[in-house]
Amino acid sequence: MFERVGILTQSTGDGVSRAFRATLSVLEKRECTVYFLKDTPRPVVPEEYSLLEISEFADNCDLVISVGGDGTLLHTAGLLYPKDVALMGINLGRLGFLTDLQPERVTTELDAILGGAFQTEKRSVLGYEVYRGDNKIVQGNAVNDVVVHKWNIAKLITLSTYVNKKFLHSQRSDGILVATPTGSTAYALSGGGPILEPDVAALALVPICPHTLTNRPIVINDSAKIEIFVDTETEDEARLTCDGNFKADLKAGDRINIFQRRQKIRLIHPADHDHYSNLRAKLNWGRNPC
């Protein structure tokens, strides 16, 4: 099913090396062509394999396997986007909502996936643009969330939010998250936001420590255009972070536009993947009594 497979990690260590060896064993058995990204730490890559630049890597792969945690898979998705390359993850992190292959099951589950026994899932991608006056100072994409938050100061910041050009609210808080269904189990979950099913056409707007008891998370259609204005009066108080990575320092009057991209990312799961079972296991919701 997948003949050209890329492998990527950001880490080294015994766990990564073991996962690489198990993965390569299956790929070689299936006679797949294997590629490694140039940024992959050389100690975990066998000497007989060359390392490719990202453009060549993305163009040559039908499937890319991320070895690490959810952060590694998000990093991989960002590198490949908007190429329509299938992604899957081997989980060496903590929770692993996206990377659902466990290292001890790589041999059997990866072999089954390469034989055609898998589920495919499309995940939304957010686009963002930051304007300072009429100038666009930064733009990019996010799979989990776009976050406007306080920085370098122990006091609240003021933000005004519009949805489809209609004023939603002005709030003093530590910030606000705009989360996709994928990101609803990440930072937004810690902020008291709702968990959204992956295929729900929605976004969650989650305030971070708002200075009012009436300010609550809001779920909106994912086709909505969101604008957030920074109303802080002093410099060096607010930042933009996407998928856990710093993107820009924000100044008073800056405008952040957030919208959904047309192109989605494509995740591959084992054939028996169950979203609810995954939630129960990761969030300790108890065992199925049936």
pLDDT in the model for residue 15: 85
The pair of structure tokens assigned to 177 is 């998250």
Q: Hey, how many other C-beta atoms are within 10 angstroms of the C-beta on 71?
A: 19
Tell whether omega for the bond before 194 is within 30 degrees of 0, i.e. cis. Answer: no
User: Could you list the pLDDT tens digit for every one of the 290 residues in the chain?
Assistant: 799 999 998 888 888 888 888 999 999 999 999 999 888 887 888 888 888 999 999 999 999 999 988 999 999 999 999 999 999 999 987 777 888 888 888 999 999 999 999 999 999 999 999 999 999 999 999 999 999 999 988 889 999 999 999 999 999 999 999 999 999 999 999 999 999 999 999 999 999 999 988 889 999 999 999 999 999 877 778 999 999 999 999 999 999 999 999 999 999 999 999 999 889 988 888 777 76
Residues 131, 77: Cα–Cα separation, whole Å:
25
Residues 120, 226: Cα–Cα separation, whole Å:
29
Residues 275, 273: Cα–Cα separation, whole Å:
7
Task: Compute φ and ψ for 54, nearest 5 degrees.
Answer: -60, -40
pLDDT in the model for residue 236: 76
pLDDT in the model for residue 38: 87
Residues 187, 193: Cα–Cα separation, whole Å:
9
Burial class (CB in 10 A: 0-12, 13-18, 19+), 281: middle
Answer yes or no: are the C-beta atoms of 22 and 107 closer than 8 Å: yes
In DSSP notation, 39-99 reads TS-GGGS-TTS-EE-HHHHHHH-SEEEEEE-HHHHHHHHHHHTTS--EEEEEE-SSS-SS-
pLDDT in the model for residue 12: 80
pLDDT in the model for residue 290: 67
Contacts of 135 (CB under 8 A, 6+ apart): none
Domains identified in the chain and CATH numbers: 4-124+264-283 (3.40.50.10330), 126-260 (2.60.200.30)
Residues 180, 175: Cα–Cα separation, whole Å:
17
pTM over 0.75? The answer is: yes
Q: Hey, how many other C-beta atoms are within 10 angstroms of the C-beta on 14?
A: 7
* Among 75, 115, 46, 139, CA closest to 271: 115
Q: Out of 70, 100, 145, 254, which one is annotated catalytic?
A: 70
The pair of structure tokens assigned to 257 is 């536009």
E strands within the chain? Answer: 4-9, 33-37, 51-52, 63-68, 86-91, 118-123, 126-132, 135-142, 145-150, 157-163, 166-173, 175-179, 202-208, 218-221, 226-230, 238-242, 245-250, 255-260, 265-270
Contacts of 180 (CB under 8 A, 6+ apart): 123, 124, 125, 126, 142, 143, 144, 145, 196, 203, 222
Answer yes or no: are the C-beta atoms of 84 and 266 closer than 8 Å: yes
Contacts of 159 (CB under 8 A, 6+ apart): 148, 170, 171, 173, 175, 176, 228, 229, 230, 231
Is residue 70 part of the annotated active site? The answer reads yes
Collapsing DSSP states into helix, strand and coil, what is residue 19? helix
Task: Compute φ and ψ for 207, nearest 5 degrees.
Answer: -70, 145
For the chain, what is the largest distance between any 2 Cα atoms, rounded to a whole number of angstroms? 62
Task: Compute φ and ψ for 16, nearest 5 degrees.
Answer: -65, -45
